């Protein structure tokens, strides 16, 4: 590249003033992005990758300031630009896709109107064609039934769809620079693929530049020209995607690559080489009993499929209501889980895997079908009264979002103690505390963290608290609802190993709900692949992942972005 880079960051230092003095979030970093180039900034949480992008957009929060350095965007000094200039640049010239699509969308405005707002704001459309353009954008981000979804509110859409709306918003004005901050983190692999391909396509078509901020090395490798690796506010390595993946120079890059789940490795391989192996306690012999622990037969969950507006319409309509007003989230699935077995439930968002798990957890009532746990039919017990039954403690769950699943006003110890106090049958403050400490040790949570509130804990620590709470009652069946989806890869590696170890020592069965086949591959004996409420394929993990029978499974496998570069540097190879 001979011309000036589109975006040039020199010596950037961003500081945050906090209660404990000034914290340097980003220290003296240099980043440049050429016209039409795609740059990935890879790092784990807290590495300063998001802060860098906020500095470019000048949307740092009040406590943060750019202490040093320059940011030049096509000749404009962004640090000195006036706020009104910045407003013009934002959205039209530099666009940003945020991490949390729900937070980025106005919850009380129809998504179609939100897209229109952007188009009108930057004079990209007039009042006649604005609706058509908005629908076209929805189509481009592969929203099914865009005309209908145009009228949807963000809460009516899945997380994946919300993110696609956000992407539609960002691309609405065809900006020169797109900053995508973990754009596909909450998305399905196939959606991720289509979205990233769309971004790459647009980048090429319009000579747009993209900064992709991600923790996913595979994603960075597949879709970016250059990769910058950040750690704790510093850039440790910048190189072409190929170079960084074939010959990573910095130790941190190597460690990051090692922790990324990929085919052909075992769980242990994810941990750093020097990790001290935790002494494995004796493995509980799994009862030779061949009767499965959990049997699910022809399970169905139906939801009424209309929103409030339709029911209002019903009031004014004469004659009988039209048929098929229900939506089958789970459509007659059958499977079983043996004792000590871990079964992966894989599928994309909206396939009904979460509904299935909440039904088995007895948090929701099934419409029809059988749920048999250890010979007892638990499906017929209403979810409302299940909480107080003794059987409750035999089925527990680790939630997807560790932050959301911890009461912000409970300390870690109080959160772990909750099930013990209710169902554990342990009395006395000290006894409960002692049990909490045992559990904390089991999940590797330092004891001095027990008195902290969730917001004082890191993501991995919160995940451990959630796991400790789930195993507190010695459950026989544990449902893991994407327990590592929100974690950094290195933390994920540790947590997955922990889960495996706990399963062996406590003799639990797992139902591992996930969208990530690479993770499922590591932890599960058997895999169920779900799509649109049905199981399309099930079988032993190796068989399903190496010789998939269903087209859908193949599609899923093909969509996983792959971190390893072939010598010929062929992009997007499939497993």
Partner 1 sequence: MSELAVPSGRPARGLMALLHHARYVLSENPVTAFAFGLFLLIITAAVFGPLIVPYDPYASNTAMALKPPSMAHWFGTDQLGRDIFSRVVVATQLDIFIAVASVVLVFLMGGLAGVAAGFFGGWTDRIVGRIADTIMAFPLFVLAMGIVAALGNTVENIILATAIVNFPLYARIARAEANVRREAGFVMAARLSGNGDGRIVLTQVLPNIMPIMVVQMSLTMGYAILNAAGLSFIGLGVRAPTAEWGIMVAEGAAFMVSGEWWIAFFPGAALMVSVFCFNLLGDGLRDIVDPQRRT
Interface with partner 1 by CB under 8 A: which residues? 18-20, 361, 363, 384, 387-388, 392-393, 396-397, 399-401, 403-410, 415, 418-419, 422-423, 444, 446, 448-449, 451-453, 455-461, 466, 469-470, 488, 490-491, 494
205 vs 407 by CB, closer to partner 1: 407
Euclidean distance between CA atoms 574 and 189, whole angstroms:
12
Which letter, b or e, does each residue of 243-281 get, where b requires 16 or more Cβ atoms within 10 Å of its Cβ? ebbeebeeebbebbbbbbbbeeeebeebbeeeeeeeeee
301 vs 469 by CB, closer to partner 1: 469
**Token pair 């994309």: residue:** 348
Euclidean distance between CA atoms 142 and 208, whole angstroms:
20
153 vs 410 by CB, closer to partner 1: 410
**Token pair 């400790």: residue:** 468
Q: How far is the CB of 285 from partner 1 (least distance, A)?
A: 28
Bridging pattern class, strands 226-231 and 38-42: parallel
Q: How far is the CB of 322 from partner 1 (least distance, A)?
A: 26
User: Could you give the C-alpha distances from 101 to 97, 140, 566, in angstroms and in order?
Assistant: 8, 17, 34
Residue 14 near residue 24 (C-beta atoms within 8 A): yes
273 vs 448 by CB, closer to partner 1: 448
Q: How far is the CB of 162 from partner 1 (least distance, A)?
A: 16
Q: How far is the CB of 427 from partner 1 (least distance, A)?
A: 15
Q: How far is the CB of 419 from partner 1 (least distance, A)?
A: 4
18 vs 291 by CB, closer to partner 1: 18
393 vs 521 by CB, closer to partner 1: 393
Q: What are phi and psi of 384, to 5 degrees?
A: -60, -40
Euclidean distance between CA atoms 164 and 75, whole angstroms:
31
Q: How far is the CB of 137 from partner 1 (least distance, A)?
A: 30
Distance of CA 277 to the CA centre of its chain: 28
Residue 73 near residue 94 (C-beta atoms within 8 A): yes
394 vs 526 by CB, closer to partner 1: 394
Distance of CA 365 to the CA centre of its chain: 26
331 vs 401 by CB, closer to partner 1: 401
Of 1, 88, 90, 91, the residue nearest 39 (C-alpha): 1
Residue 181 near residue 98 (C-beta atoms within 8 A): yes
Q: How far is the CB of 498 from partner 1 (least distance, A)?
A: 10
Structure tokens at 110: 């129809």
Euclidean distance between CA atoms 183 and 200, whole angstroms:
13
Of 485, 568, 544, 250, the residue nearest 258 (C-alpha): 250
290 vs 409 by CB, closer to partner 1: 409
333 vs 423 by CB, closer to partner 1: 423
Structure tokens at 220: 């960075």
281 vs 363 by CB, closer to partner 1: 363
184 vs 358 by CB, closer to partner 1: 358
Q: What are phi and psi of 297, to 5 degrees?
A: -130, 130
Q: How far is the CB of 454 from partner 1 (least distance, A)?
A: 9
Bridging pattern class, strands 342-346 and 526-531: parallel
Q: How far is the CB of 497 from partner 1 (least distance, A)?
A: 10
Q: How far is the CB of 410 from partner 1 (least distance, A)?
A: 8
Q: How far is the CB of 304 from partner 1 (least distance, A)?
A: 15
Please tell me what DSSP assigns to residue 195. Answer: H
33 vs 445 by CB, closer to partner 1: 445
Q: How far is the CB of 174 from partner 1 (least distance, A)?
A: 36
Q: How far is the CB of 488 from partner 1 (least distance, A)?
A: 7
* Helical (H) or strand (E) element with 392: none
Of 51, 49, 57, 46, the residue nearest 14 (C-alpha): 51
Long-range contacts from 116-120, C-beta under 8 angstroms, 24+ separation: 118/91, 118/169, 118/172, 118/173, 119/172, 119/173
Helices (H), 317-411: 353-360, 383-386
């Amino acid at each position: 590249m001979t011309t000036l880079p589109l975006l040039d960051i020199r010596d950037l230092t961003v500081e945050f003033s906090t209660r404990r003095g000034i914290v340097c979030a980003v220290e003296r970093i240099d980043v440049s992005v050429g016209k039409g180039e795609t740059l990935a900034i890879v790092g784990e949480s807290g590495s300063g990758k998001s802060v860098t992008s906020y500095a470019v957009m000048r949307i740092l929060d009040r406590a943060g300031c750019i202490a040093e350095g320059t940011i030049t965007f096509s000749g404009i000094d962004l640090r000195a630009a006036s706020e009104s200039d910045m407003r013009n640049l934002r959205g039209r010239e530099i666009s940003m896709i945020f991490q949390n699509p729900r937070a980025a969308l106005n919850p009380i405005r129809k998504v179609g109107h939100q897209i229109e707002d952007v188009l009108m704001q930057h004079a990209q459309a007039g009042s006649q064609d604005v609706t058509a353009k908005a629908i076209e954008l929805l189509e481009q981000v592969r929203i099914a039934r865009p005309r209908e979804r145009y009228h949807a509110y963000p809460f009516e859409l899945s997380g994946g769809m919300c993110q696609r709306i956000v992407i539609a918003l960002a691309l609405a004005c065809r900006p020169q620079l797109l900053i995508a901050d973990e754009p596909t983190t909450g998305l399905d692999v196939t959606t991720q693929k289509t979205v990233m391909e769309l971004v790459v396509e647009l980048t090429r078509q319009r000579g747009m530049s993209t900064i992709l901020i991600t923790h996913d090395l595979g994603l960075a490798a597949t879709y970016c020209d250059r990769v910058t690796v950040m750690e704790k506010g510093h850039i440790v390595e910048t190189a072409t995607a190929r170079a960084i993946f074939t010959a990573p120079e910095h130790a941190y890059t190597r460690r990051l690559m090692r922790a990324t789940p990929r085919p052909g490795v075992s769980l242990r391989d994810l941990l750093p080489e020097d990790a001290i192996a935790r002494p494995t306690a004796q493995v509980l012999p799994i009862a030779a009993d061949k009767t499965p622990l959990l049997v699910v037969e022809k399970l169905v969950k139906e939801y009424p499929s209309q929103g409030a507006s339709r029911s209002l319409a019903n009031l004014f309509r004469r004659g009988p209501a039209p048929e098929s007003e229900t939506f089958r989230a789970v459509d007659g699935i059958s499977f079983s889980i043996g004792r000590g077995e871990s079964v992966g439930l894989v599928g994309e968002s909206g396939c009904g895997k979460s509904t299935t798990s909440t039904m088995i957890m007895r948090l929701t009532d099934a419409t029809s079908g059988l749920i048999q746990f250890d010979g007892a039919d638990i499906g017929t017990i209403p979810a409302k009264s299940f909480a107080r039954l003794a059987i409750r403690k035999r089925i527990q769950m680790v939630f997807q979002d560790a932050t959301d699943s911890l009461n912000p006003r409970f300390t870690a110890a109080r959160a772990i103690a909750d099930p013990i106090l209710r169902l554990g049958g342990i009395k006395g403050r000290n006894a409960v505390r002692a049990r909490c400490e045992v559990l904390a040790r089991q999940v590797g949570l330092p004891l001095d963290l027990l008195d902290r509130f969730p917001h004082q804990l890191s993501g991995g620590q919160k995940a451990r608290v959630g796991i400790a709470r789930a195993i507190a009652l010695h459950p026989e069946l544990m449902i893991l609802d994407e327990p590592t989806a929100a974690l950094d890869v290195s933390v994920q590696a540790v947590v997955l190993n922990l889960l495996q170890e706990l399963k062996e020592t406590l003799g639990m069965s797992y139902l591992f709900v996930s969208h990530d086949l690479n993770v499922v591959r590591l932890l599960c004996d058997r895999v169920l692949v779900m799509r649109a409420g049905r199981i399309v394929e099930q079988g032993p993990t190796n068989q399903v992942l190496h010789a998939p029978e269903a087209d859908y499974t193949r599609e899923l496998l093909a969509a996983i972005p792959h971190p390893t570069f072939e010598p010929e540097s062929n992009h997007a190879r499939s497993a």
